[in-house]
Homo-oligomer: A and B are copies of this chain.
């Protein structure tokens, strides 16, 4: 077993309580006593038992992160930043992906809660069913929603402006002269996807030329998305451009286009989402909407930390950041 605070107190010749006060820096301790305690702790190699601290004080200095899927570069990068900054603030990051499964999300959140997590950063699978999150939040554990926002339940959120994202992308395509545009998205149930489809539609409606949007629902796996996309492209009046609504859909579109034997951008223009270290090296380099992952992640940490210290705003915050269009070579004017 390891050194306990009792042994430190013994070695320093003070009571357990004084040792605790010195080590956790609260209450009042005489400088002399403090020094002896700190010295004894260092000599014995004392390390506080976080579990005991948590049981007594009600929080474990652990922040939980529940991304939709850690394989997605957006979330991997977010995990990096969260862990980095939270660690510096004295927390450890505990994470588990929901894999976009609500049942699983619930059980993960419960597992985190029962381990006395100090706060939760989550990309909620459903924008509708969030009672488990609300309950946690109302019990006093700060919850910050990232990448997606929740229906009006008083939970802070920070995400990209999804409608704006696809509006920008669609306008880019329209300005190039495209009039038949497909949008490949995963599911109507995921809020951000629905918003992106809506944004595209709005852009098309605002345009001076009369364009049409072909929404293609790709489902939750790469395979299903490829299949859906390929069959949609085989219909009459094939779109001359496609907007892939997230990174998985981007891959699906690329694979689908290859399977169809189409050339980019001669036969079809492609706008993807989410930059990645390899996208500039693709054939051709991919035009895409780049999400401000760093700003979103840092913002989530700031929100979390301010809620944790109680120094934050009273009211719920919903931050929306803008994605930026990165034009490379996968988009061009449609050939006639």
Write the residues of chain A forming the contact surface with B, with a CB cutoff of 8 angstroms: 2, 47-52, 54-55, 60, 62, 69-71, 73, 76-77, 79-80, 83-84, 87, 92-97, 99, 108, 110-116, 139, 222, 251, 254-255, 258, 276-279, 281-284
**Partner pick for A83 among B52, B60, B97, B278, CB 8 A cutoff:** B97
A115 and B96 within 8 A (CB) = no
B residues less than 8 Å from A284 (CB atoms): 283
User: What's the Cα separation between A278 and B222 when bound, in Å?
Assistant: 12
B111 and A92 within 8 A (CB) = yes
B residues less than 8 Å from A60 (CB atoms): 51, 115
User: What's the Cα separation between A108 and B95 when bound, in Å?
Assistant: 15
Known contacts A52-B55, A55-B52; decide if A87 and B96 are in contact (CB<8 Å).
yes
Given A92-B108, A92-B115, 20 more A-B residue pairs with CB atoms under 8 Å apart are A47-B114, A48-B114, A49-B55, A50-B116, A51-B115, A52-B55, A55-B55, A70-B70, A71-B76, A71-B80, A87-B96, A92-B94, A94-B94, A94-B95, A95-B95, A222-B277, A255-B281, A276-B278, A282-B283, A283-B283
User: What's the Cα separation between A264 and B109 when bound, in Å?
Assistant: 48
B residues less than 8 Å from A51 (CB atoms): 51, 54-55, 60, 114-116
Known contacts A47-B114, A54-B51, A282-B281; decide if A76 and B87 are in contact (CB<8 Å).
no
CB-nearest residue of chain B relative to A96? B83
B residues less than 8 Å from A112 (CB atoms): 92
User: What's the Cα separation between A254 and B280 when bound, in Å?
Assistant: 10
User: What's the Cα separation between A147 and B279 when bound, in Å?
Assistant: 26
B residues less than 8 Å from A69 (CB atoms): 80
User: What's the Cα separation between A62 and B116 when bound, in Å?
Assistant: 13
User: What's the Cα separation between A97 and B77 when bound, in Å?
Assistant: 12
A20 to chain B, nearest CB (A): 15
User: What's the Cα separation between A222 and B255 when bound, in Å?
Assistant: 27
B residues less than 8 Å from A222 (CB atoms): 277
A/B interface sample: 25 pairs, CB < 8 A: A47-B110, A47-B113, A49-B55, A49-B116, A50-B111, A51-B51, A51-B55, A51-B115, A51-B116, A52-B55, A55-B55, A62-B94, A70-B79, A70-B80, A76-B76, A83-B95, A92-B108, A92-B111, A93-B94, A93-B95, A93-B96, A94-B95, A222-B277, A278-B279, A278-B282
B283 and A50 within 8 A (CB) = no
CB-nearest residue of chain B relative to A276? B278
